[in-house]
A and B are shown apart, each in its own frame.
Chain A
Amino acid sequence: MSVQTHIPATAMASRPAAGIHGTKMVARDVKVFYGAKQALKGINLEIQENRVMALIGPSGCGKSTFLRCLNRMNDTIENCRVEGLIALDGEDVYGKNIDAVQLRARVGMVFQKPNPFPKSIYDNIAYGPRIHGIASHRDEMDEIVQTSLQRAGLWNEVKDRLREPGTGLSGGQQQRLCIARAIAVSPEVILMDEPCSALDPIATAHIEELIDELRENYTIVIVTHNMQQAARVSQKTAFFHLGDMVECDDTEEIFTNPRDERTQGYITGRYG
């Protein structure tokens, strides 16, 4: 099986003809505690397939915390405890059938600060496929690296310097490298935590374009502090406030006609 054949296939399969989007992930009454401190107070949310969901809200309201629950990155924090149900394709991600390693392969993550490994560009991309044993020989790996970089829109810029360290790229390129790295393991969902906050407007525009393209094949959840960005890239938006999910609706709806006054206050810039 080759990469090229199946990724479009996913896209086709997950995009029903009617344009109704299936539910990819569900959160039911998710509570998170850091030691005694409660960071999330019961979140209910549905994430739809092949759409971009934006999480917005003032700093410290628990957006990252929620995002990290979706692929169990919170497991790596010593005193963090998660309650409630989170399901991927109807299966509890904290349940017996799903292993954290397996889950993270299916639900990838891109972080706020670009974090390329101190390895070559090639090895950065090949890292995930290697540990999961996706490619069985070199040609296959070369192909994965190339398609991933192409999808992340980085191929043309780096194709002549694949052996150079990934840390030598510019900030925006690094972030796209990280996105390519996440794509390389062909996840089903990609979580992005403020992926553009360390980038200049041009690099940001680049990434936003990329997100829009990726939507075809992946389900995307993005945390952002930038209202315009949320409006530009997402179809759904959820507003978080002090550990609560206040409101979740179509992005247009949220920005033009918010139901909760806290949402209104936030998007009009009265606090945050």
Chain B
Amino acid sequence: MSVAVTKSRYQSEEFSARLRRRYAAERRFRIAGMLAVGIASLMLVVLLGSIVSKGYTAFWQAQIRLEVTLDKQQVEERNYTAIVRQALYAQVPAATDRATRRSLNDLLSSGAPYELEAMVNANPSIVGTTQTVWVRADDEIDQFMKGFIRRDVPESERRLSDVKITAIDALVANGSIRSTFNTTLFTAGDSREPEQAGILGAVVGSALTLVVTMLLSVPIGIAAAVYLEEFAPKNRWTDLIEVNINNLAAVPSIIFGLLGLAVFLGFFGLPRSAPLVGGLVMALMTLPVIIIASRVALKAVPPSIREAALGVGASPLQTVTHHVLPLALPGILTGTIIGMARALGETAPLLMIGMVAFIVDIPGGLTDSATAMPVQIYMWADSPERAFTERTSAAILILLAFLILMNGLAVFLRKKFERRW
């Protein structure tokens, strides 16, 4: 009867069948969500995995042992190349003819004579003696030792000739090749030769840039946030500033580079490639980030604190500096660190202002030519040598380490000072 009709609507077989279909759709939707999260995680793993697997070998570097006889006359003529070569020939006695010896020359890094020279300059008393030294091997030998140049490939397709491989085998046999921690990577500036290239110049360049960025954007950003949050009247003018800041935060970074190029280099005539200009551009870029973060932190301070301070006769400025700012400081700090981390990873604007030059020297001041970490990565990524690919990945790992450190600090500060009102 009709009672049965009503009862059966949601208890009927038809409804159960439909319900099963609905739950199947539910499962599919859920799986789609899991898939999305899975894809994101997978991409992170693939990205980091590919960089680690490409880069970890760069932290080691092949060295060749030489018994150098520091002949007095050769030292005086500063003919270290000859000294080094003679020592190398001695290590491979089988190589007697000129052609073989010439190809042996390429086994050593072109920086090996300079290494030796530096050693002699540091300790002149060793002149005239025979010393055992380990000098850097050429990057291709290094790659061969790491297994990236395969010996089972036909010679014509290989970057290393059979003669060299024979010589390397001889060196390996008498224990004259070793792999050590690649200190050069951390202590040298850029170089055309991978085995002599390091990131110190870029790290210093980044540090100088960030110092300028911080000195400008932090005080200005906090001041602007304090004004907008605490003092500014609510009118169209401040609305405009607010809209403007939010939009500025979303302007592509390369546009800031164009601004820097046109205004700081073109109009003010500041030097190209200088950390000063890089810092200025980055400061303008991070300013909105810091203002927005600081305003959020200031907003989180409850009005009761302001009322209490004003109530005991503090001026508005005193209220802010003595009571509100200290409470908002952890939040501001967190936002600032995150802004700085972003500036540290930013590349495009620095390309525009010429911090992309090949610079061997470690920059010593704000107006010296310099590059920065991400730009160094960009430049190395362009180099064809396998050894540079490896170093690019290593530089990325170091940059990521810095970023993780900074973000970790921000998380730590947030956790430590987190306060709920």
Q: Taking beta carbons and an 8 Å cutoff, which residues of A are in contact with B?
A: 1, 5-7, 9-10, 12-13, 99, 101-102, 105-106, 131-134, 186, 188
Contact B18 A9 (CB under 8 A): no
Contact A13 B3 (CB under 8 A): yes
Besides A9-B2, A132-B10, 6 more A-B contacts (Cβ < 8 Å) are A12-B2, A13-B6, A101-B19, A102-B10, A105-B10, A132-B15
Contact A134 B9 (CB under 8 A): yes
Q: Taking beta carbons and an 8 Å cutoff, which residues of B are in contact with A?
A: 1-3, 5-6, 9-11, 15, 18-19, 22
Closest 9 A-B residue pairs measured CB to CB? A9-B2, A13-B3, A10-B6, A6-B5, A105-B10, A102-B10, A133-B18, A106-B10, A6-B6
Query: A132 → chain B, closest Cβ, in Å?
Result: 7
Query: B36 → chain A, closest Cβ, in Å?
Result: 22
* B6 contacts across to A, CB distance below 8 A: 6-7, 9-10, 13, 186, 188
Query: B289 → chain A, closest Cβ, in Å?
Result: 33
Contact B2 A102 (CB under 8 A): no
Contact A101 B22 (CB under 8 A): yes
* A7 contacts across to B, CB distance below 8 A: 6
Bound-complex Cα distance A9 to B22 (A): 29
Contact B2 A13 (CB under 8 A): yes
User: Can you spell out 17 A-B residue pairs with CB atoms less than 8 angstroms apart?
Assistant: A1-B5, A5-B5, A6-B5, A9-B5, A9-B6, A10-B3, A10-B6, A13-B1, A13-B6, A102-B10, A102-B11, A105-B10, A106-B10, A133-B18, A134-B9, A186-B6, A186-B9
Name the contact of B15 in the complex, choosing from A5, A10, A102, A186 (C-beta under 8 A): A102
Bound-complex Cα distance A134 to B1 (A): 19
Please report the number of residue pairs spanning A and B whose Cβ atoms sit closer than 8 angstroms: 39
Contact B3 A102 (CB under 8 A): no
Question: Interface majority SS on A: helix, strand, loop or mixed?
Answer: helix
Contact A6 B2 (CB under 8 A): yes
* B2 contacts across to A, CB distance below 8 A: 5-6, 9-10, 12-13
Query: A272 → chain B, closest Cβ, in Å?
Result: 29
Query: A155 → chain B, closest Cβ, in Å?
Result: 23
Bound-complex Cα distance A106 to B18 (A): 16
* A1 contacts across to B, CB distance below 8 A: 5
Query: B11 → chain A, closest Cβ, in Å?
Result: 8
* B19 contacts across to A, CB distance below 8 A: 99, 101-102
Closest A residue to B18 using CB positions: A133
Name the contact of A132 in the complex, choosing from B1, B3, B5, B18 (C-beta under 8 A): B18
Bound-complex Cα distance A13 to B6 (A): 10
Query: B5 → chain A, closest Cβ, in Å?
Result: 5
Bound-complex Cα distance A5 to B2 (A): 8
Query: B25 → chain A, closest Cβ, in Å?
Result: 11
Query: A146 → chain B, closest Cβ, in Å?
Result: 19
* A13 contacts across to B, CB distance below 8 A: 1-3, 6
* B11 contacts across to A, CB distance below 8 A: 102
Query: A17 → chain B, closest Cβ, in Å?
Result: 14
Closest B residue to A187 using CB positions: B10
Bound-complex Cα distance A99 to B26 (A): 14
Bound-complex Cα distance A257 to B15 (A): 47
Bound-complex Cα distance A7 to B10 (A): 14
Closest B residue to A91 using CB positions: B11
Bound-complex Cα distance A186 to B22 (A): 19
Query: A22 → chain B, closest Cβ, in Å?
Result: 12
Bound-complex Cα distance A193 to B15 (A): 28
Closest B residue to A103 using CB positions: B10
Closest B residue to A134 using CB positions: B9
Query: A75 → chain B, closest Cβ, in Å?
Result: 14
Name the contact of B3 in the complex, choosing from A9, A105, A186 (C-beta under 8 A): A9
Closest B residue to A188 using CB positions: B6
Query: B7 → chain A, closest Cβ, in Å?
Result: 8
* A188 contacts across to B, CB distance below 8 A: 6
Bound-complex Cα distance A13 to B2 (A): 8
Query: B20 → chain A, closest Cβ, in Å?
Result: 10
Bound-complex Cα distance A186 to B7 (A): 11
